[in-house]
Structure 1
Amino acid sequence: MGKGSERSRAEDPAPPSGLRHAVRAFRHRNYVLFWCGALASNTGSWLSNLTVPYVLYQMTGSALWVGMVSVWQFLPGLFLGPVGGALADRHERRRVVFLTQTGMAAAAFLMWAAWQWGLREPLVLLALVGLSGIFQGLNLPSWQSLVSDLVPRGDLTSAVSLNSLQFNAARAIGPAIAGALLAALGPSWAFFLNGLSFFFVLAALSFIRGLGGAEPADAPSSGVARQFAEAVRYIRGKPGILVSLLISVLIGVLGNPVFQLTVVFAESVFHTGAVGLGLLNASLGVGAVLAAPLVSGGFRGVSLSRTVRWGLVVYGIALMAFAAAPGYLFALLSLVVVGGCFLAVVSGINTSVQLMVADRLRGRVMACRIMVTTASFPVGGLLQGYLTDLLGPRAALCGVGAVMLLSALLLMRGFGRLRLDRLDDPHDTDAPAPAPLG
C-alpha cells in the first residue's frame, strides 16, 4: 500500500468510543421506557428464579431436582419457538409482548397463591414454572426483535447490549433482595413481588409510541411450518449465524447451569444460608454490569468475534476457579468474572445475529436461536445436576469448566467456514426466499 493510502487512512476519523457511545441507545424515548420497565420486571423475576431452586433443594436435597427447573422453564420454548417467531414477524411485536407478559404475570400470581394455599409439592412448583415457560416461549422472539424496532440501526449494538445489561443488572439486584426476603419473610413474599413486578413492563409498553401499524411490513402469509422451514434454510446459508448457534449450545450446556448450582454450593459447600446464596447470584449480575461498557461498543477496535473469543476462554477458567474456591470471598470474586463473561458471550452472539439477519426474517431467525438456546439449558441443567449428585459439586463443575475451555480453544481454530470471525459478517440487505429443499 502506498504512502498516500497510509496518509489517507491516518487522517480518517477514529471510530466513536467511550461511555457516551456505549449508552447511545438511551437517546431514544421508547427504548428508555422499555429498558426501565424490563429492569424492574426482570428484577422481580429473579426473586422467583432464585426462590424456586432454593425451596426445591430444601424439599429434596437433590441437585437433579434443581436441574429440573431449567427443563420446565425452557422446554416449552423449544416447541413454541416456531409459533413465537411467526407471531414476531406477522404482528405488532409490542402487542405480542404485552399479551405474553400478561400471561407470565398470571402464572407468577398463581405460584404465589399455590404457596399460600399450602400446595408446596415439587411437582406443583415445576408445573407452574412450566406454565410461565409457555408464555415465555411465545414472548422471547418478539421481545428480542422489538429491541430493533425501538432504535435506528446505527444504535442497535448499543441497544442489544444494554438490553443484556438490564437483564444482568436485574440478576444482581433480584437475588440480593430474594436472599433477604427468604431469610426474613419466607418464599411467599418473593413470589408475590415477582407477580407485581410485571406491571412495570406492561406500563412501559403502554406508553411506547410511534412503532407503526398493527403488522410489520412484508409480513409472511404462509403457515407457521413453512415460515419456520424458510428460516432454517436461510440459517444454513449463513455461517455467522451457525457459529452463534453453536456457541449458544456451548453456553446452554456448560456455562448456564452454574446459575442454578449456586444453590448447591451455598448449602453444601460454603454453608451460607439464604443471604449468602443471594450474594452468590448477585455477584453474577455485578460482573455483567462491569462488563457492559466493553460489549456495548464502548471500547475502540474490539470486534464481536474478539469479545466472544476471549469471553469463552475466561469463562471456562472462571468456572474452574469457582469450583475450586478455597473460601467464600474467592467464590464471590470468581462469579463476578463468570457473570462478566456470560454477558460478553451472550450479548456478542445476540448482537451479531441482529446485525446480520435480513429484516424480513428477523423474528423467525431469532426464534431459531432461542429454540437452540432453550433446548441446551435443560440438557445442561439435568446433566450437571446428575454429575453434581454423582461426583460432588466441586469436581463436577471443575470438569465442566475444563471442557468449556477446551471447546473455546477448538473454536478459535475453526471448522471450515465455521470460524469465530464470521460473527463479524455484514448485514444481509437482500434476502430472497430460498429455494425449496431437495
Structure 2
Amino acid sequence: MTPFGTLGRALSHRNAKIFFGASLMAWTGLWMHRIAVSWLVWELTGSAFWVGVIAFCDLAPAVIVSPLAGAVADRADRVRMTMLSQAAIGLNAALIGLLVATGQVTIGALLVLEVVGGVAASFAQPARQSLMPGLVPRADLPAAVALNSLTFNVARFVGPALAGPMIAVAGVWPAIACNAFAYLVATTTTPLLRVDAAQRRGHAATASLFGEMLDGLRYAARHPGLGPILGFAAVAALLLRGVQEILPPYVERAYGRGAESLALLTAAFGIGALVSGLMVASRGRLAGTTRLAVLGVGALALATAGFVATSWFPFGLLCAALMGAAGSVHGISVQTLAQSASDPAMRGRVLSLWGLITRACPALGALLLGAAGEHFGLRWPTLVAVALSLGVVAWGLARLNRMAETLEGGSQDHSNR
C-alpha cells in the first residue's frame, strides 16, 4: 500500500479527522510560539545560555510532571484531561503575548510562564497519545501513530514559515497570539471525539496516585523491550536534540544570519521529517521497527555533525533536512513500539515516559549546549555529543535482536510485575 493510501485509511475515521485536524492547528501555533520566544530571548540577551535556559524551562517540567501525568491519564477521563490541559496551554500563551505586546515582558516572567506552559503540555501529552487506540481500529494504529508524527512535522514546517516573516514584519507577539488562538480551537473541538469508555479511561483508581506512578515506572523499567528502547531514546535525545532547541545562536554565530534563516532551518527540519515519515508510514507493519529506531539515531548523529561543521548555509539546510528525517524515523518507531507493546492499563504511564524523553532530555541537552557554547563555542561541544551518541548507537545495535524479539513479538506484557 502506498504511504498516502495507508494514511488515508487512518484518516477515513471521523475521530481521526477531528483529532488530527485540531493537532495540526495546535502544533502549528506551538512552533510559531517556540520560534517567537527563542528569538525574543536572543534579542533581549544575546546569550546562547539564556536561549538554552528558556528551552529548559519549557521542556524540563516533564521530568517531575510526566510520570504523575501518565498516572492521571490512566485513571482519569482522557478526553476531558486533554481538553483542560490544552485550554491551560492556550491561556498561558495568551498571557505571554499580552505581556510582549504591552512591553511588560521580562526574562524572569518569561521563564516562569514557560514553566507553566511546560507543566500543562506534560499533562496534555499522555492524555492525547493514550486516546489514539480509541480513534482508529487496531489494524490502523501504526498508520495513526505515523500520522501523528507527520502532523507534528507538517506543523513544524508551516509554523516557522508563518512565524519568520511575521516576526520580521510585526514583531514577536502576533506569533505567540496565534498559538493562543490555535489551542482555543483545539480545546473546543476535543469534546466532539466519540471514544469508547474503555479507551477514555485506562482503569479505575486502585491505589494512591503516587503508587500508580511508581507502578508505571517499575513496569517500564522491568519490561525487557520497553526499558532498553526508552533508555536508548533518552540518552540519544539528551545528546542530539538540544541543537534543535537553541537554533538562534547557531543561526547567528555559525551562519551569520537572522530570523528569516531561522525559519528556513526549522522548516527544513519539518520537510525532512515529513518525507521520512511518509516512508515509515508506507511500511504498514511492525517488523523491523526496532532496527529503524536505532539506525535513525545513527543517521541523526551524522547529520548533526555536518550541520555544525560548516558555515555554508545551503549545506546547513540540507543537514537540517536530514536531521529532521532521521529524528522522525526514530521518533515514529519508538512511539509505535511503545503503543504496541504496552499493557493497555499502563499505556498512559508508558507514553508519559516517552513524553518525558521528548521534552526533558532535549531541554537538558539544550541547557548543557548553551552553557558549553558560552565558553567553547557551539561547534566542539556539539561534535563531542555526536561522538558519544555514536557509542550509544553501537550499544543499541548490540541489543537489537533482544529488544526486537520482545517489542515486535506481539506480547502485551513481558514485565515481572
Answer yes or no: same fold by TM over 0.5.
yes
Q: Deviations over 1:33-84 (max 9, x none)?
A: 1101110111011111111111111211211111112321122222222331
Q: Taking structure 1 as the reference length, what is the TM-score of the superposition? A: 0.89
Whole-Å Cα distance in 2 between the matches of residues 137 and 191 of structure 1? Answer: 19
Is the 1:295–1:344 contact (alpha carbons within 8 Å) kept by the matching residues of 2?
yes
Is the 1:162–1:296 contact (alpha carbons within 8 Å) kept by the matching residues of 2?
yes
**Counterparts in 2 of 1:371 and 1:266: CA distance versus 1, 3 Å:** closer
Q: Structure 2: which 5+ runs fail to align? A: none
Provide the residue aligned with 1:87 in structure 2: 72
Note the C-alpha offset of 1:272: 1.9
Q: 1:158 aligned to 2:143?
A: yes
Q: 1:426 aligned to 2:409?
A: yes
Note the C-alpha offset of 1:119: 2.0
Whole-Å Cα distance in 2 between the matches of residues 324 and 113 of structure 1? Answer: 39
Q: Deviations over 1:330-353 (max 9, x none)?
A: 100100000011111111111101
Provide the residue aligned with 1:99 in structure 2: 84
Provide the residue aligned with 1:331 in structure 2: 316
Provide the residue aligned with 1:234 in structure 2: 219
Q: Structure 1: which 5+ runs fail to align? A: 1-15
Q: 1:380 aligned to 2:365?
A: yes
**Counterparts in 2 of 1:215 and 1:178: CA distance versus 1, 3 Å:** closer
Whole-Å Cα distance in 2 between the matches of residues 268 and 35 of structure 1? Answer: 37
Aligned mate of 1:282, from 263, 267, 272: 267
Write out aligned runs for 1:307-318 (5 A). Answer: 307-318=292-303
Provide the residue aligned with 1:8 in structure 2: none
2:404 counterpart letter in structure 1: D
- Which segment drifts farther, 274-283 or 147-156? 147-156
Aligned mate of 1:169, from 149, 154, 157: 154
2:118 counterpart letter in structure 1: G
Note the C-alpha offset of 1:287: 0.6
Whole-Å Cα distance in 2 between the matches of residues 91 and 64 of structure 1? Answer: 38
**Counterparts in 2 of 1:253 and 1:423: CA distance versus 1, 3 Å:** farther
**Counterparts in 2 of 1:34 and 1:55: CA distance versus 1, 3 Å:** same
**Counterparts in 2 of 1:310 and 1:433: CA distance versus 1, 3 Å:** closer
- Which segment drifts farther, 207-216 or 221-230? 207-216
Is the 1:90–1:215 contact (alpha carbons within 8 Å) kept by the matching residues of 2?
no
Q: 1:292 aligned to 2:296?
A: no
**Counterparts in 2 of 1:217 and 1:275: CA distance versus 1, 3 Å:** closer
Whole-Å Cα distance in 1 between the matches of residues 18 and 292 of structure 2? Answer: 28
**Counterparts in 2 of 1:271 and 1:32: CA distance versus 1, 3 Å:** same
SS where residue 225 of structure 2 aligns? helix
Is the 1:53–1:66 contact (alpha carbons within 8 Å) kept by the matching residues of 2?
yes
**Counterparts in 2 of 1:123 and 1:132: CA distance versus 1, 3 Å:** same
Q: 1:269 aligned to 2:260?
A: no
Provide the residue aligned with 2:233 in structure 1: 248
- Which segment drifts farther, 348-357 or 210-219? 210-219
Is the 1:287–1:337 contact (alpha carbons within 8 Å) kept by the matching residues of 2?
yes
Write out aligned runs for 1:168-187 (5 A). Answer: 168-187=153-172
Q: 1:54 aligned to 2:36?
A: no
Note the C-alpha offset of 1:390: 1.8
Note the C-alpha offset of 1:423: 6.5
How much is the aligned-residue C-alpha RMSD, in angstroms? Answer: 2.3
Note the C-alpha offset of 1:131: 1.1
Provide the residue aligned with 1:34 in structure 2: 19
- Which segment drifts farther, 126-135 or 82-91? 82-91
Is the 1:75–1:133 contact (alpha carbons within 8 Å) kept by the matching residues of 2?
yes
Provide the residue aligned with 2:390 in structure 1: 405
Is the 2:255–2:311 contact (alpha carbons within 8 Å) kept by the matching residues of 1?
no
- Which segment drifts farther, 241-250 or 347-356? 241-250
Note the C-alpha offset of 1:207: 2.1
Identity %: 27
Whole-Å Cα distance in 2 between the matches of residues 252 and 349 of structure 1? Answer: 12
Provide the residue aligned with 1:258 in structure 2: 243
SS where residue 310 of structure 2 aligns? coil
Whole-Å Cα distance in 1 between the matches of residues 72 and 286 of structure 2? Answer: 37
Note the C-alpha offset of 1:17: 5.8
Q: Deviations over 1:222-274 (max 9, x none)?
A: 11111112222222331211122112212321221121232112112212211
Whole-Å Cα distance in 2 between the matches of residues 116 and 18 of structure 1? Answer: 43
Q: 1:350 aligned to 2:335?
A: yes
2:260 counterpart letter in structure 1: V
Whole-Å Cα distance in 1 between the matches of residues 216 and 135 of structure 2? Answer: 23
- Which segment drifts farther, 327-336 or 74-83? 74-83
Whole-Å Cα distance in 1 between the matches of residues 373 and 403 of structure 2? Answer: 31
SS where residue 239 of structure 1 aligns? coil
1:174 counterpart letter in structure 2: G
Is the 1:412–1:420 contact (alpha carbons within 8 Å) kept by the matching residues of 2?
no
Note the C-alpha offset of 1:355: 0.2
